[in-house]
Structure 1
Amino acid sequence: MTDTSSSLRILLTNDDGIDAPGIAAMREELTAVGDVTVVAPAENQSGVGRARNEHAVRRDHPWGYALEGTPADCVAYALRGLDADFDIVVSGINDGPNAGNYVVGRSGTVGAGVEAAFLGTPAVAVSSYHARDFFCHPPEEYDFSRPARVARALTERVFGTDVFDEVDLLNVNAPADVPSPRMRVTRPFADYDQQVDHDPDAGALPDGDREHDLDDDEVYVRLQDISWPDSVGFENPFPLDDEHRDRYPVGSDRRAMVDGEVSVSPLAVHHGHATDPRLASIVESLSEQVE
């Protein structure tokens, strides 16, 4: 039994929507170690990053509240709009991985954690992948209990230590199908390109992209991420051969996934700062020229 007098006060959210299987599995695990309040999007908000809205509609939910907004909206509302204090924010479980610099920057799951960090609350973002299928989709066909147990253990262990003195957010990618996976501290690995197709078959476009007939000076374009080698958009990049394994060094989040491990990437949200004397010289010289 958990001692509720000393249990964690946990805000739980996600980007797949409050009715997604991943958040249900995460809530079931977290209630064993803390007092869990759920504030999550009413509908799927995947891929929205840290987008925010000025207005949102809140609905009561047996676990807390469903918000007609983004994951970052949910966190902002909960941390500043509820009469409650939270020790930590947990976001997930996402029904697919969020690894690599570019993908992490676009993820609504991670975006919720970034919002929490900016508001002064440590966060853990949790995503699940499948060592064969890659994406856990459709999510109803996958078991998120193993990633939920991993996230619960990590959340309980790191809180109260000095980990969050320097780290704002832990980004976790855990396999759903690997028994007793190894856990590894990792760093996001940058590997990204973009494929652009002109005038694709209109019949293959989502309905929302066919708002009107094309004029003579208009062309349909399709933008698709290449975030893993030899895969475009949401194609499954697994299994990766030895050449691809060697592409990602041990200690990177992508290599951990290739090896079926739990990737734990400690992140800071200040966006970094670089110094370059050449830039300082250019700016100084321009300041003397521009009136």
Structure 2
Amino acid sequence: MSDMPLQILLTNDDGIDAPGLAAMREELTAVGEVTVIAPAENQSGVGRARNEFAVRREHPWGYALDGTPADCTAYGLRGLDTDFDIVVSGINDGPNAGNYVVGRSGTVGAGIEAAFLGTPAIAVSSYHARDFFCHPPEEYDFSRPARIACALLERVAGTSVFGDVGLLNVNAPIDVPQPRMRVTEPLADYDQHVDHHESTTLLPDGDTDRQLDDDETLVRLRDVSWPETVGYENPFPPRDEHRERYPVGTDRRAMVDGEVSVSPLSVHHGHAESQTLAGIVDSLSEFVE
């Protein structure tokens, strides 16, 4: 690492007033100059969505932006004069593990935006080995995940790590003393549960006034992002079944074992080879006029 202090851009998806961001900032100020640009309100689950316009407000730590985490990253890296060395996103008050969940995470989305703009990034999420979700966040202490993420940042900054990967996705327990840290890969384990409501006047998002027409059906889509768990219940029990389902080296197995999961991600949607597809395309060439 250089003798010059690191220039760190800190953002999140839980909003600029989130306890996880405050804990992360406190740790990072010991190793570098920290500029916070975070959403003014909660932006969980927005992935890497972007907006063309966003209102910026001054904040004692930097700026609050009426936008997504990816907006905050894009603005920080291209809208300020600071040449940032790294982007840190988090700490999220809940895990982002499993490739489907990771792909939809606003915490990870901020890091993906950084990678596309050529800046290393670490996305940091927390989990509780017993409660799973750290909610409400005010009741949890995020200092351990913050210390873990800060130590990792100090070790990887200035190395060749980010020449090989675009983003590090970290899930750290808040309640496990001296947890083991493991390099992992996001595991594909996902399904969707669909409910049909044939007759109702109660629609989601506060729309309670519109009566459904005769040809309309209210459809509810609910994630099954852990086995047999619909919604946001604690998916860990029974733990032995999850150990059998998730092999060592996956991000979800690390969480079942109370470990720190560090997943190096490639974010540029790399090219995949398929000889079968090449043959099909070649055979169809004569039909294209």
TM-score by shorter chain over 0.5: yes
Give the residue type in structure 2 aligned to 1:144: F
TM-score with structure 2 setting the length: 0.96
SS, match of residue 242 in structure 2: helix
Conserved? CA contact 1:4–1:35, under 8 Å: no
1:93 aligns to what SS in structure 2?
strand
Q: Distance in 2 between matches of 1:255 and 1:210?
A: 41
Establish whether residue 90 from structure 1 lines up as the match of residue 69 from structure 2.
no
Quote the offset at 1:204 in angstroms. 7.3
Please tell me whether the aligned partners of residues 132 and 239 of structure 1 are also in contact (alpha carbons under 8 angstroms). Answer: no
CA contact (8 A) 1:127 1:174 kept: yes
| Structure 1 unaligned spans of 5+ | none
* Cα displacement (A) at 1:201: 8.2
State how 1:221-240 maps to structure 2 within 5 Å. Answer: 221-240=219-238
The 1:211/1:279 distance shift into structure 2, 3 A limit, reads farther
Cα distance between partner residues in 2 of 1:201 and 1:190: 35
The share of aligned pairs that are identical, in percent, is: 80
Which of 71, 76, 79 is 2:77 aligned to? 79
Cα 1:201/1:24, change in 2 over 3 Å: farther
Q: Is the 8 A contact 2:37 2:76 kept in 1?
A: yes
Is the Cα contact below 8 Å between 1:4 and 1:34 reproduced in 2? no
Give per-residue Cα distances to partners, 1:61-106, cap 9 Å, x unaligned. 0000000000000000110001111000000000000000000000
Return 5+ residue gaps in structure 2 as ranges. none
Structure 1 segment 162-177 matched on structure 2, within 5 A: 162-177=160-175
Shift in Å, 1:7: 1.3
Cα distance in 1 for residues equivalent to 2:286 and 2:2: 64
Q: 2:182 aligns with which of 158, 180, 184?
A: 184
Could you list the per-position Cα deviations for residues 181-222 of structure 1 after superposition, in whole angstroms to 9, with x for gaps in the alignment? Answer: 000000000000000001188587544354622111111111
Runs of 4+ in 1 over 3 A off after TM superposition: 200-211
Structure 2 counterparts to residues 173-212 of structure 1, below 5 A: 173-199=171-197, 206-210=204-208, 212=210
Out of 251, 276, 279, the position equivalent to 2:277 is: 279
C-alpha separation in 1, matches of 2:199 and 2:123: 37
Match of 1:58 in 2: 56
Q: Who is 2:122 aligned against?
A: 124
Equivalences for 1:16-165 in 2 at 5 Å?
16-165=14-163
CA contact (8 A) 2:202 2:209 kept: no
Q: Which residue of 2 aligns with 1:254?
A: 252
Other-structure match for 1:220 = 218
Structure 1 length as normaliser, TM-score? 0.96
What is the count of residue pairs matched by the alignment?
289
Higher mean C-alpha displacement, 235-244 vs 202-211? 202-211
